[in-house]
Amino acid sequence: MPSSPMTKTQARRRIAALRREIEFHEKKYYVDNDPQISDREFDRLMKELTGLEARFPELVTPESPTQRVGEKLVAGFVAVSHSRPMLSLDNSYSVEELKDFEERLRRLLPGQDIRYIAELKIDGLGIALRYREGKFLQAVTRGDGRQGDDVTANVKTIKSLPLAVREQRDLEARGEIFLPFASFRKINRMREEAGEPLFANPRNAAAGSIRQLDPAVVAGRGLDIFLYSLFIADDEPPTQGETLRDLKALGFKINPHWRACRDLGEVVAYWKEWKTKRDSLEYDCDGVVVKVDDLEQRRALGLTAKSPRWAVSFKFPARQATTQVKDIEVQVGRTGALTPVAVLEPVKLGGTTVSRSTLHNEEELRRKDVRVGDTVLVERSGDVIPRVVAVVKDLRPPGTKPFSFPSACPRCRSKVFKPEGEVISRCLNPSCPARLRESILHFASRRAMDIEGLGEALVDQLLDKGLIKQIPDLYRLKIEDLERLERMGAKSSRNLLEQLEKSKTRDLAKLIFALGIRHVGERTAGDLAGLFGRLEDLSRASKEELVEIPDVGPKVAESISFFFKQPETRTLISRLREAGLNFLSRTPAPAGGPLSGRVFVFTGSLASFSRDEAGRLVERLGGETAADVTSRATDVVVGESPGSKLAKARKRGLVLLSEEEFLKLVGQPSA
Ligand code: IVH
């Protein structure tokens, strides 16, 4: 926006227009999952608004989209009374119990037709949102049902929450705040790195986040919200179905998977369907809530002290179970990290049998005080990998001893090392067989060198038979070596050699990732490959040079420089070179054309070009193209009827371009 002098009246008008536009796009992005403009474009609008508000602070209002993150709370949370009690639900666990529920309804509503709305029961925390004249006023936790805490400042940071709704009325909406699995895993990964206790499940993480005193921290957590109840004085919708439609029309996010059911049979069918399908959701859902649809009937049914008579929850089988710890093993990872693992008496959990569970690290193990012989509560939630939540201390048999963490590597016996302030002990021996096994598996993995067929069983055999002692030995394997191994016929041996041959031509980005440098993930590997272009250049880079790279902090820089200084690394690299691996990046250096450093992916059909033509345009300007949204992709051009790449791109927060924006970028007249 030009910074020419603007009168206050002009600013007021522009600010109002910007807010409307930003609100519209926030809703499209966070509520409807249907973005209309690129992130870059959105940031530009936000920046313009922030700039104007800074110049005219008197025009800032609490509902401005710039005001989602407010001041820290110093005195903690204030208790607030609920406008009407926030009840809980009766639980049922079987079709029989559900039939009992319906029996009761029939007794109380004799001869009436009863219809239901079935919704997913979101495993989060209940929240009441108050709006005055259509503007967000206050958010209150459930608390004891009569009184909750005022968590307004924190709830305001949730991007899918409308700060103003479509109608300028007083209303209260209720729903569930939850943490999507992706955010949950991210938070726990960060906590693990920082040596902080991990959250047991997304619900605890959501509850912990909403109780943070600093809204800026909450804003970074990735919370989300679904609404399911609405109270508007003198104008209540006649049914639950209408309530959900009204909530949506007002601009709230509702869970899209609700269903109107004519009878209990349809409710049971819905429950059965979602019992399996819940595994494909991006958030935790622990059952179905069955609600009488008609609000008139609801009023007749009334409430008990604890819960309404018109609704019941029908839980899914638990993903929690108790079982015994038979042993505690310590595994050695690729980077030498020692991870304690509980060996469990096999137990069924959410459809699979669990017999092992990670205990993360020494700290975590000590905090939970898990001992051999203990009964433990295990949970599978969000992660495919089950976790030990807690020890059932009452069931601890006499004579157990706290687990003593080894001071030597359980595989190679060299002394383990735990740097000051870190929680992870490591084996530092680079030729430790356990580390080598994991390094080879990582090297061969799909996201690294992508050597199909080189899995655990084969790597174990190759190591046991002494056929490989270091990664480069892979490239000296002969057909006779392979054919002699178990389950390796002539055909699979030939295939493996072909795969190894093919892996020699992989891009530098993949090779850097495959080397398994600590803290260097796929994305950083891509950045490094693009910037340095040659493995030798990267290996000679100083810490100072490395920290200059965006997204490379001192820790990552230190780790890269340490890795390349090791004599073992030097040998490794020169042997890989001898084997004929590609050490060059196909990513052009950023000094090239205007699009250099950017990798474009296309999804959907373009009106003006074929994909090949569009790709050539990009390349002519120094950019690159990729077939899929990989870690290197930077921009996604979204054509007509986009495919799954769009969702992936959104997840990764990539720049989304419409065809028109793309045309502008490559300097072509629009169609
Ligand atoms: S309706 C009178 N609908 O489950 C209570 N609750 O165990 C009416 N919940 O406190 C609640 N998803 O926090 C309702 N679709 C849904 C829900 C839901 C999750 C929570 C809610 C409630 C708890 C009851």
> How far does residue 125's CA lie from ligand 1's centre (Å)?
9
Q: Name the closest-CA residue to atom 2, ligand 1.
A: 87
Residues 494 and 621 occupy one common structural domain: no
Residues 309 and 326 occupy one common structural domain: no
Residues 102 and 223 occupy one common structural domain: yes
173 vs 587, more confident: 173
Residues 522 and 632 occupy one common structural domain: no
> How far does residue 174's CA lie from ligand 1's centre (Å)?
9
- Stretch 479-491: mean pLDDT, rounded? 92
The response to whether residue 372 sits with its C-beta less than 6 Å from ligand 1 reads no
| Cα three-residue angle 249-251-254, rounded to 5 degrees | 85
Q: Ligand 1: which atom is nearest the Cα of residue 307? A: 2
- Stretch 183-197: mean pLDDT, rounded? 81
Q: Name the closest-CA residue to atom 10, ligand 1.
A: 88
Residues 383 and 450 occupy one common structural domain: no
Residue 567 domain-assigned?
yes
Residues 474 and 492 occupy one common structural domain: yes
Q: How confident is the model at residue 1 (pLDDT cuts 50, 70, 90)?
A: very low
What are the residues facing 379 on neighbouring strands? 320, 387
Q: Name the closest-CA residue to atom 21, ligand 1.
A: 126
CATH code, domain carrying 25: 1.10.287.610
Q: What is the pLDDT of residue 285?
A: 93
The response to whether residue 232 sits with its C-beta less than 6 Å from ligand 1 reads no
The response to whether residue 141 sits with its C-beta less than 6 Å from ligand 1 reads no
CATH code, domain carrying 494: 1.10.150.20
Residues 182 and 108 occupy one common structural domain: yes
Q: What is the pLDDT of residue 552?
A: 87
Q: What is the pLDDT of residue 651?
A: 87
Q: Name the closest-CA residue to atom 16, ligand 1.
A: 121
For the chain, helix (H) and strand (E) counts, in that order, are 24, 22
CB atoms within 10 A of CB 138: 16
Q: Ligand 1: which atom is nearest the Cα of residue 303? A: 2
CB atoms within 10 A of CB 296: 12
Residue 374 domain-assigned?
yes
Q: Ligand 1: which atom is nearest the Cα of residue 91? A: 7
The response to whether residue 121 sits with its C-beta less than 6 Å from ligand 1 reads yes
Q: Which among 354, 355, 401, 347 has a CA at the least distance from the CA of 374?
A: 401
- d(Cα 560, Cα 567) in Å, to the nearest integer? 14
Residue 250 domain-assigned?
yes
Q: How confident is the model at residue 542 (pLDDT cuts 50, 70, 90)?
A: very high
Catalytic site residue from 47, 121, 291, 645: 121
The response to whether residue 176 sits with its C-beta less than 6 Å from ligand 1 reads yes
Q: What is the pLDDT of residue 595?
A: 84
Pocket probe for ligand 1: among 82, 93, 120, 122, the residue whose CB has the most ligand atoms within 8 Å is 122
| pTM for the model | 0.65
% of residues, the chain, pLDDT over 70: 97
Output the DSSP codes for 26-74: HIIIIISS---S-HHHHHHHHHHHHHHHHH-GGG--TTSGGGSS-PPPS
Q: What is the pLDDT of residue 356?
A: 93
Pocket probe for ligand 1: among 203, 299, 313, the residue whose CB has the most ligand atoms within 8 Å is 313
Q: How confident is the model at residue 335 (pLDDT cuts 50, 70, 90)?
A: confident
Q: Which among 540, 188, 565, 195 has a CA at the least distance from the CA of 366?
A: 195
CATH code, domain carrying 143: 3.30.470.30
Picking from 315, 335, 367, the residue at the C-terminal end of a domain is: 315
Q: Ligand 1: which atom is nearest the Cα of residue 291? A: 1
Active site residue 393: no
Residue 428 domain-assigned?
no
CB atoms within 10 A of CB 43: 12
> How far does residue 88's CA lie from ligand 1's centre (Å)?
7
The response to whether residue 215 sits with its C-beta less than 6 Å from ligand 1 reads no
Pocket probe for ligand 1: among 84, 289, 290, 301, the residue whose CB has the most ligand atoms within 8 Å is 289
| Cα three-residue angle 309-312-314, rounded to 5 degrees | 165
Q: Name the closest-CA residue to atom 6, ligand 1.
A: 121
Q: Name the closest-CA residue to atom 23, ligand 1.
A: 88
CA 158 to chain centre: 16
pLDDT tens for 497-522 read: 999 999 999 999 999 999 999 889 88
Residue 591 domain-assigned?
no
pLDDT tens for 151-172 read: 999 999 999 999 999 999 999 9
Indicate whether 587 pLDDT > 60. no
Residues 614 and 488 occupy one common structural domain: no
Indicate whether 69 pLDDT > 60. yes
> How far does residue 120's CA lie from ligand 1's centre (Å)?
9
Range among 32-41, 236-245, 647-656 rated most confident: 236-245
Report the number of distinct structural domains present in the chain: 5
Indicate whether 36 pLDDT > 70. yes
CA distances from 650 to 36, 71, 389, 627 (A): 12, 29, 32, 16
Residues 142 and 256 occupy one common structural domain: yes
> How far does residue 474's CA lie from ligand 1's centre (Å)?
56
The response to whether residue 127 sits with its C-beta less than 6 Å from ligand 1 reads no
- Domain range for residue 30? 8-67
User: By the 8 A CB rule, do 331 and 424 touch?
Assistant: no
Output the DSSP codes for 593-635: STTTT-EEEEESB-SS--HHHHHHHHHHTT-EE-SS--TT--E
Residues 158 and 276 occupy one common structural domain: yes
Q: What is the pLDDT of residue 589?
A: 45
The response to whether residue 88 sits with its C-beta less than 6 Å from ligand 1 reads yes
Pocket probe for ligand 1: among 92, 225, 228, the residue whose CB has the most ligand atoms within 8 Å is 228
Q: What is the pLDDT of residue 590?
A: 44
- Stretch 225-233: mean pLDDT, rounded? 95
Cα diameter, the chain:
85
CATH code, domain carrying 623: 3.40.50.10190
The response to whether residue 122 sits with its C-beta less than 6 Å from ligand 1 reads yes
Q: How confident is the model at residue 29 (pLDDT cuts 50, 70, 90)?
A: confident
Residues 292 and 149 occupy one common structural domain: yes
Q: Ligand 1: which atom is nearest the Cα of residue 127? A: 13
- d(Cα 114, Cα 311) in Å, to the nearest integer? 12
Q: Which among 338, 260, 318 has a CA at the least distance from the CA of 292?
A: 260
Picking from 67, 97, 116, the residue at the C-terminal end of a domain is: 67
Indicate whether 4 pLDDT > 70. no
Output the DSSP codes for 165-185: -SS-S-EEEEEEEE--HHHHH
- d(Cα 654, Cα 588) in Å, to the nearest integer? 20
Q: Name the closest-CA residue to atom 18, ligand 1.
A: 121
- Stretch 347-361: mean pLDDT, rounded? 85
Residue 361 domain-assigned?
yes
Q: Which among 99, 82, 78 has a CA at the least distance from the CA of 229?
A: 82
Q: What is the DSSP secondary structure assignment for residue 446, as one 8-state letter?
A: T
Q: What is the pLDDT of residue 322?
A: 92
The response to whether residue 126 sits with its C-beta less than 6 Å from ligand 1 reads yes
User: By the 8 A CB rule, do 602 and 654 touch?
Assistant: no
Q: How confident is the model at residue 592 (pLDDT cuts 50, 70, 90)?
A: low
Lookup: tokens for 143: 């608390």
Picking from 395, 422, 457, the residue at the C-terminal end of a domain is: 395
> How far does residue 285's CA lie from ligand 1's centre (Å)?
11
| Mean of the per-residue pLDDT values of the chain | 90
CA distances from 30 to 162, 459, 642, 652 (A): 10, 45, 18, 15
Q: Name the closest-CA residue to atom 12, ligand 1.
A: 121
Q: What is the pLDDT of residue 121?
A: 96
> How far does residue 666's CA lie from ligand 1's centre (Å)?
51
> How far does residue 128's CA lie from ligand 1's centre (Å)?
12
> How far does residue 168's CA lie from ligand 1's centre (Å)?
27
Residue 414 domain-assigned?
no
CATH code, domain carrying 330: 2.40.50.140
Indicate whether 387 pLDDT > 70. yes
Q: What is the pLDDT of residue 618?
A: 84
Residue 527 domain-assigned?
yes
Positive or negative torsion for Cα 318, 324, 326, 330: positive
pLDDT tens for 242-285 read: 999 999 999 999 999 999 999 999 999 999 999 989 988 999 99
Pocket probe for ligand 1: among 83, 88, 240, the residue whose CB has the most ligand atoms within 8 Å is 88
The response to whether residue 89 sits with its C-beta less than 6 Å from ligand 1 reads yes
- Stretch 448-459: mean pLDDT, rounded? 94
Residues 384 and 494 occupy one common structural domain: no
Q: Name the closest-CA residue to atom 9, ligand 1.
A: 121
- d(Cα 611, Cα 628) in Å, to the nearest integer? 13
